[in-house]
Structures are given as structure tokens and as C-alpha cells.
Amino acid sequence: MFENVLNWIYDILWGPIMIYGILLVGLVFSIMTRFVQIRKIKEMFILMFKGQKSEAGISSFQALTVALSGRVGTGNIIGTASAIAFGGPGAVFWMWLIAFIGASTAYVESTLAQIYKTKKAGIYRGGPAYYIEKGTGQRWFGIVFAIAAILAMAILMPGVQSNAIASAMDNAFNIQPWVTGLITIILLAFIIIGGVKRIANTAQIIVPFMALAYLLVALIVIIINITEVPAVFGLIFRSAFNLDATFGGMLGAAISWGVKRGIYSNEAGQGTGPHAAAAAEVSHPTKQGLVQAASIYIDTLLVCSATALMILFMGTYNTNVNNADGELIVEHVPGHNYTEFTQLAITNALPGLNNFGSTFVALALFFFAFTTLMAYYYIAETNVAYLFSGKTEGIVTWILKFALLASAFYGAVRTSDLAWLLGDIGLGLMVWTNVIGIIILAKPAFIALKDYEEQRRAGKDPVFDPIKLGIKNADFWVERNKQNH
């Protein structure tokens, strides 16, 4: 009965309106920004390494790594594998497309987070709840997002990450899930008790190291199978457009699963990235908007593609027909453990390294998922700070810590299907609320981009002045400019 209710909620949240609506919103934002994700791609990567942290904020690079902590997680390994399992190889193309289009959405939401950020208790705070309230003047709307974010980040979604860690460790090292869960929450408790600065300092070390290590292994697998590159890319494009005999009739499933898992992985439009974006110390909101747009490319076009290509090169996947019987039209590996798709691919590609694939993917999943749990806590804490103040905020923040740790431990020992179902529901709640908000509020992000480009053409280091641009309720920037003058 309980799972039937959850499936009903899931079907509402992830129906055709969501799937095609998010593509349409990203396309509109791409047009309105004149495809900023292409025009400014060089600048995106330069800005990553500019800007210094301050007492109140973190550097652009730290904000990027905190955002990537949330973006680079189980979606890159298990999510990509499950997209291939339910949508066929063509789902990979639709993941690429949602990343390309979603980069403009990431720009808009992260720029809005900077425009409408605030300074509370000496720390920069911001995100969808903040910009929804300030942009629309409707606090109740911001409260809806804040509650959805806290439920999703602290209760519904941690289980997906910890379950992936436990499953991979069990498969690679025969470690009982409860042991993995206990170790995970002990380490996590140490990080989150230190607050945003400790989270940022940890993320800037772990995220680049693990992402580069994962991409290096993928590159080795690709080089070993370099002659298969045309065939694999051909398979992806043919099945993406229903032109492959084996995967014929799966166009709808390819689009649906590619978009769902693409959004789950890169989080464009989800409303998670803006929380870290708001914490960055920058002179103009567009700077951090561009950095966060680049994070979408890093997540999907690099890390997700690495997973997909390894699996497809080595043929270590199954694909289901989308029917009640769950019939398999491709069955290359036993069972339905999506983590094993990648583990087997690396092991088969490097047979002389004694089951290296299982060990490496287990460690990669641990670091990816662990840093995602850190990001989840930061996002939930930011929304608690939006809803509460004073002693009440402190008490609720401690309750939040225990709730997230309990959810992460429970997720490590429960079934994977239920973990993903709850995670998808949590994600859906946030996406719906945030996307409606940014559709209403997108104009200031477009104005900020135009202002930034005009100042750059004039040879200036852009500085944001909301009064000059006619943007209301950007109180932080108004006060900052007064102090600077």
C-alpha cells in the first residue's frame, strides 16, 4: 500500500509535463541568453579559479566544488547505468542534450541566487527560497521550497547515496551494509558539525581528486578500445532516434530516462546548485552564474559520459523493454545491480589487475556519494536558516543533523528500489517548485548578463549595481555598494 502511494506521487511529479517542460524551459533560457553556455564557455573555466574567499563567503572554486559535491554522485555511476538499462544506449544522448540545455538553466538559477543573497550571522546565505521570496514578494512561496528542500535533502534523498556506497562496498569487499552505514555517518558527522567552511575545504580536496582519477581510468578504457569509438557513438545516436533495430520502439523511454537521470545527475533546475553559488565571494552575480553553468558540463559531459562509454565499450549492461513483464531485450550481465555494470566494465577492460573494477568503483562511489551527502546537509541547513532565526534555528539545525545521519544510515540497509523511489520523489518536489520560481523571476538574470558583458567590453572588472539596473530587493548588493563608496 505504502509503495503504491509513493509510485502514484512519483507518476505525478515525473509525468510528461516535467520531462518535456524542463527541456522547454532550458531551451527558452538558452535563446534568451543567446546560448551563453556556448558563447562564454572559455570565460566559465577562467572564472573558476578567480575570486578569493572572505570571512562571510567562499571562493568561486570552493563554491564550484561544493556544487559539484551535490552534482557528482550516484547519478554519475548508478544513474547513468540505470538510464541505459531502461532507456537503451540512446538515453545517453538525451542526458547530453539536457546537460547542454540545462547549463543555461544553471546560469539563471545561480545568478538569481547571487542577486538575492543575504548575509546572516556573518555568512552568505541564498538559494531558491531566498530569491523566490525577494523576487515575487511572496514568502509563502519561498517557504514551500524550503520545506521541500529540507524534506528532500535531509530525509528522502540521503538514502540513495548511502545505499549506493553500501552496495558497492558489499560487492567489492563483502562489508556488511550496516558497517558501511555506520562508518559513513561517523565521518559525515565530523564534517557537517564544522559548518560551511569545513564542507567547502573538504570538497575542494576530494571532488577534483576523485573526478580526475575516475576520468583517467575511463580514458584508459577508451584508449584500449579506441577502434570501437565510431561504433559506440553510432549506437548511441541511432538508438536515441529510434533508428537501431535492437532498440526500436524505445524512443519515449530513451528521452524519459535520459532526461530524468540527466536532471538527477547535473541538477540543472533542481535548485541545489544555487545554494553554493550564493555563498561565493564575487563582484558580480554573473561570474558565479557562469561558473555554475560550467559545472553542468563537468558533471554530465565528462563524468557521466565516462561511465556510459566504459559500459558500452565493454557491453556490460542489460536493457529492459518498458512493459509489465520487465522483459530484457539485451542481457549481457547477470542480475540488476547497476553498480556492477561499471565495475564489470573496468574489470573486463583491465583483466590483469585482479578485480580492479569492483574496488575502484566502490571507492569512487564512496567519495562521490559521501561528498553529495555533505552538499545535501549544507543545502538543508541553508533552508533551515531561511525558515528560522536565533535559538530556534540552532535547535532545528541540530535536529537536522541527526535526521540526515539517521536517514543516511537507514538508506544503507534498505532496498535499493525504495531508496531510488524516495530520492526521485524528493527531487521532483524541488524541481517543480524551483522551475516555477525561475520562470517567473528569470528577467534579472538576463539583465545581469547584459550588464556584465557591457562592462567586460569596456575593459572593466564587472561590479554589480542593482539600483542602476532597476533590480529591486537586491538588498545585500545595495548595502555593499554603500559601504564601498
Tens-place pLDDT, residues 248-288: 677 777 888 887 788 777 777 788 889 888 888 888 999 99
For residue 328, the surrounding DSSP H or E stretch is strand 328-331
More confident residue, 122 or 180: 180
Model confidence band, residue 303 (pLDDT cutoffs 50, 70, 90): confident
Give the SS3 label for residue 345: helix
pLDDT value for 55: 57
More confident residue, 52 or 228: 228
Model confidence band, residue 401 (pLDDT cutoffs 50, 70, 90): very high
Least confident of 67-76, 244-253, 317-326: 317-326
Kindly state the cell numbers that stand for 473: 530587493
Model confidence band, residue 322 (pLDDT cutoffs 50, 70, 90): low
More confident residue, 478 or 419: 478
pLDDT value for 344: 85
**Of 471, 71, 459, the residue nearest 270 (C-alpha):** 71
Would you give the DSSP letter of residue 311?
A: H
Q: What is the mean pLDDT of residues 287-307?
A: 88
Would you say residue 5 has pLDDT above 60?
Answer: yes
Alpha-carbon distances, residue 18 vs 24, 25, 128, 195, 256 (angstroms): 10, 10, 18, 34, 10
Residue 15: what are its φ and ψ, rounded to 5°? -75, -175
pLDDT value for 70: 67
Tens-place pLDDT, residues 407-424: 999 888 876 577 667 777
What's this model's pTM, rounded to 2 decimal places? 0.87
What is the overall mean pLDDT for the chain? 84
**Of 135, 84, 97, the residue nearest 257 (C-alpha):** 84
Model confidence band, residue 20 (pLDDT cutoffs 50, 70, 90): confident
For residue 119, the surrounding DSSP H or E stretch is strand 118-120
CB 310 within 8 A of CB 321: no
Say how many Å lie between the first and final Cα of the chain, rounded.
63
Model confidence band, residue 454 (pLDDT cutoffs 50, 70, 90): very high
CB 410 within 8 A of CB 159: yes
Residue 312, burial from CB neighbour count under 10 angstroms (0-12, 13-18, 19+): buried
